[in-house]
Chains A and B, each alone.
Chain A
């Protein structure tokens, strides 16, 4: 995924409508994934043509609130993030590890094979692409890289779209992860509304992205479009109301503070926040036994540090109370992630705020934890 510096800096192409690009992707990849409205929610789903993408959709997001409404635009990306991040593509909720069979008392292992699955995703947002990089570091950065993750990631061709309509729950301007894709994409586009409908200003992020642009024989973008594409996402992100302070890593690691009990009173320990988080990577193992009892498939499944079982050692969990479990989540995400992986686990996508059923907002929790414990009492 070599970054073609000169291209990124200077070369821009223009595309009117997305038909040709998506046709080309569908022709080249085993699967093309994009945003699709499903039951009133923008989800990441397989698509076959540009018609599958939303058009003229706006969203309302707030703590514990997600709603879509129609607007009159011809735009296809005029809304913020849905609940699915790129995590669901490279680190799916369930993935087989191996199958074992028992024959005459002997165990025979069939290791799962992880062929590279050639997939393209269109409409990936900058914070999610950074989340993918953070997640990748957890799963492939150590001594025992997960082969399934690696195969999924290597096969993924990423078409990013800059955010021109971020949700008020987003805070990528603060975390420095958005609103425009900087790296990790193969192609990035900015969607602009013009008199002729939606146009896309494209830039290449990799050799293979550039190769696809060349194959499509696209026109160079006009300087007017290039200027708009450089400006509009930043303007849109300027209004983001949320942020984390620079000392959030330290605040999140506070062991004692009455705010931990306060948030635990509200938290349902449902784990929605960890499921929608683009970087929460924790998994559990399940052994699924075949009906004849002689085969067992080991499956890696998403887990959550909010479950009681998560920390069980012997007869009892180490983190038995919701106070301890919420503290674990937040101090890991913003604090000890730095100790473990050298960076923050939060990319500012705001999903945990929108999808928390009781509207717990980590930026507000950090602000409350930053107040001296005595004042909070």
Chain B
């Protein structure tokens, strides 16, 4: 038996970190910042709306963050990050000039081939972040769709994400409906949870498609409401947030029943998760 020479195994680029530099930081709402980043070498990779990257802070770790910039923007990417644990705290402390690393993009994007349909986009809290690149894409290709309604909910008016952009989106043909759980004096939008506000929209149900992102319970109630009104369950897409340690389908953390969310999601159609969503703790 001859002994084989030790051969180095080729490495998948998604397994290798790409070093990038922060070029701008926007404070969005309390505890939420948007980092604009560019690769130290080369150009940003292409991506589709709702795709995710593992974004890493030196010595701390990586978190899965969806890319929120326009998919047509080829010079930089933006990541909107909420400070929640050690990793996101480190990421949200970065300043222009600081370096981080990115592995991505991965995951199933929104299906935006919804020509001739009405599109309801519903976001709870920071759930608007994985939807923003979809909003940009819909604006860019606005003529493909009929009515486009964006419902954005937050606990209070000061927590509405990207609020400065809503008027510009309205100018481009998106109906933007805002709702808060608690109204401050002077608030003239809606009061109530996202599912209830979506419930009240006047819809052509059979011709409606929906994109949902927010806490599981918000997506479940919104999806159930839409389906009850006659929107086909298959036409309801949602994007799942789970603990992701690898993004490569290897670490097991992001499972939801039979789904490996980094591989089979984050965007799924409602029937794929409805049974799991009906049981808490899955």
Kindly list chain B residues whose C-beta atoms are within 8 Å of the C-beta of A97.
15
| Interface-lining segment among A56-64, A197-205, A283-291 | A283-291
Tell me whether A208 is interfacial, beta carbon within 8 Å: yes
Cβ–Cβ contact A143 & B16, under 8 A: no
| Interface-lining segment among A44-52, A71-79, A107-115, A218-226 | A107-115
Q: How far is the CA of A281 from the CA of B252 in the complex (A)?
A: 7
Between B11, B252, B255, the greatest number of chain A beta carbons within 10 A of the residue's beta carbon is seen for B252
Cβ–Cβ contact A313 & B8, under 8 A: no
Kindly list chain B residues whose C-beta atoms are within 8 Å of the C-beta of A293.
59
Cβ–Cβ contact B3 & A100, under 8 A: no
Tell me whether B188 is interfacial, beta carbon within 8 Å: no
Cβ–Cβ contact B40 & A340, under 8 A: no
Tell me whether A117 is interfacial, beta carbon within 8 Å: yes
Tell me whether A314 is interfacial, beta carbon within 8 Å: yes
Q: How far is the CA of A108 from the CA of B221 in the complex (A)?
A: 46
Tell me whether A315 is interfacial, beta carbon within 8 Å: yes
Cβ–Cβ contact B61 & A282, under 8 A: no
Tell me whether A98 is interfacial, beta carbon within 8 Å: yes
Q: How far is the CA of A309 from the CA of B263 in the complex (A)?
A: 21
Kindly list chain B residues whose C-beta atoms are within 8 Å of the C-beta of A100.
17, 58, 101
Q: Which of A107, A113, A114, A310 contacts B19 (CB 8 A)?
A: A107
Cβ–Cβ contact B255 & A117, under 8 A: no
Cβ–Cβ contact B258 & A340, under 8 A: yes
| Interface-lining segment among B69-77, B148-156, B159-167, B243-251 | B243-251
Cβ–Cβ contact B9 & A150, under 8 A: yes
Tell me whether B170 is interfacial, beta carbon within 8 Å: no
Between A107, A114, A331, the greatest number of chain B beta carbons within 10 A of the residue's beta carbon is seen for A107
Kindly list chain B residues whose C-beta atoms are within 8 Å of the C-beta of A338.
258
Interface residues of B in 54-88 (CB under 8 A from A): 58-62, 82, 84-85
Interface residues of A in 297-355 (CB under 8 A from B): 300, 303, 305, 310-315, 318-321, 323-324, 327-328, 331-332, 336, 338-340
Cβ–Cβ contact A318 & B8, under 8 A: no
Tell me whether B168 is interfacial, beta carbon within 8 Å: no
Interface residues of B in 16-43 (CB under 8 A from A): 16-17, 19, 40
Nearest Cβ distance between residue B94 and chain A, in whole angstroms? 11
What number of A-B contacts does a CB cutoff of 8 Å give? 154
Interface residues of B in 264-282 (CB under 8 A from A): 275, 278-282
Tell me whether A138 is interfacial, beta carbon within 8 Å: yes
Q: Which of B7, B40, B61, B253 contacts A115 (CB 8 A)?
A: B7
Cβ–Cβ contact B281 & A303, under 8 A: no
Tell me whether A106 is interfacial, beta carbon within 8 Å: yes
Kindly list chain B residues whose C-beta atoms are within 8 Å of the C-beta of A232.
none
Q: How far is the CA of A150 from the CA of B259 in the complex (A)?
A: 24
Residue of B nearest to A310 (CB): B253
Residue of A nearest to B264 (CB): A340
Tell me whether B189 is interfacial, beta carbon within 8 Å: no
Q: How far is the CA of A318 from the CA of B58 in the complex (A)?
A: 27
Kindly list chain A residues whose C-beta atoms are within 8 Å of the C-beta of B97.
105
Cβ–Cβ contact A287 & B60, under 8 A: yes
Tell me whether A228 is interfacial, beta carbon within 8 Å: no
* With A107-B19, A285-B245 as contacts: A256 and B250 at CB distance below 8 Å: no
Residue of A nearest to B279 (CB): A255
Number of chain B interface residues as a range? 35 or more
Cβ–Cβ contact B59 & A116, under 8 A: no
Count residues of chain A with CB under 8 A from any CB of chain B.
Answer: 69
Nearest Cβ distance between residue A312 and chain B, in whole angstroms? 6
Q: How far is the CA of A106 from the CA of B14 in the complex (A)?
A: 21
Q: Which of B252, B275, B278 contacts A305 (CB 8 A)?
A: B252
Tell me whether B260 is interfacial, beta carbon within 8 Å: yes
Q: Which of A143, A150, A296, A312 contacts B243 (CB 8 A)?
A: A312
Nearest Cβ distance between residue A8 and chain B, in whole angstroms? 19
* With A111-B16, A283-B252, A336-B257 as contacts: A318 and B9 at CB distance below 8 Å: no
Nearest Cβ distance between residue A363 and chain B, in whole angstroms? 23
Q: How far is the CA of A146 from the CA of B253 in the complex (A)?
A: 16
Tell me whether A28 is interfacial, beta carbon within 8 Å: yes
Q: How far is the CA of A255 from the CA of B280 in the complex (A)?
A: 9
Tell me whether B12 is interfacial, beta carbon within 8 Å: yes
Kindly list chain B residues whose C-beta atoms are within 8 Å of the C-beta of A319.
281-282
Cβ–Cβ contact A318 & B242, under 8 A: yes
Cβ proximity bits A49-93 to B, threshold 8 Å, 1 near / 0 not: 000000000000000000000000000000000000000000000
Tell me whether B185 is interfacial, beta carbon within 8 Å: no
Cβ–Cβ contact A114 & B250, under 8 A: no
Kindly list chain B residues whose C-beta atoms are within 8 Å of the C-beta of A296.
58-59
Q: How far is the CA of A265 from the CA of B1 in the complex (A)?
A: 55
Tell me whether B140 is interfacial, beta carbon within 8 Å: no
Residue of B nearest to A144 (CB): B248
Cβ–Cβ contact B15 & A28, under 8 A: no
Kindly list chain B residues whose C-beta atoms are within 8 Å of the C-beta of A154.
9
Cβ–Cβ contact A289 & B59, under 8 A: yes
Cβ–Cβ contact A109 & B82, under 8 A: no
Q: How far is the CA of A319 from the CA of B276 in the complex (A)?
A: 13
Q: Which of A113, A115, A145, A336 contacts B258 (CB 8 A)?
A: A336
Cβ–Cβ contact A102 & B9, under 8 A: no
Q: How far is the CA of A336 from the CA of B256 in the complex (A)?
A: 9
Tell me whether A190 is interfacial, beta carbon within 8 Å: no
Nearest Cβ distance between residue A21 and chain B, in whole angstroms? 13
Q: How far is the CA of A108 from the CA of B19 in the complex (A)?
A: 8
Can you show 9 pairs from A to B with CB atoms below 8 A apart?
A114-B9, A116-B4, A139-B250, A143-B249, A144-B248, A283-B246, A287-B61, A310-B253, A314-B85
Q: List 7 other contacts, CB 8 Å, given A109-B16, A336-B257.
A: A109-B101, A114-B9, A284-B245, A314-B85, A319-B282, A328-B282, A336-B258
Which 3 interchain pairs have the tightest Cβ spacing?
A339-B258, A324-B281, A282-B252
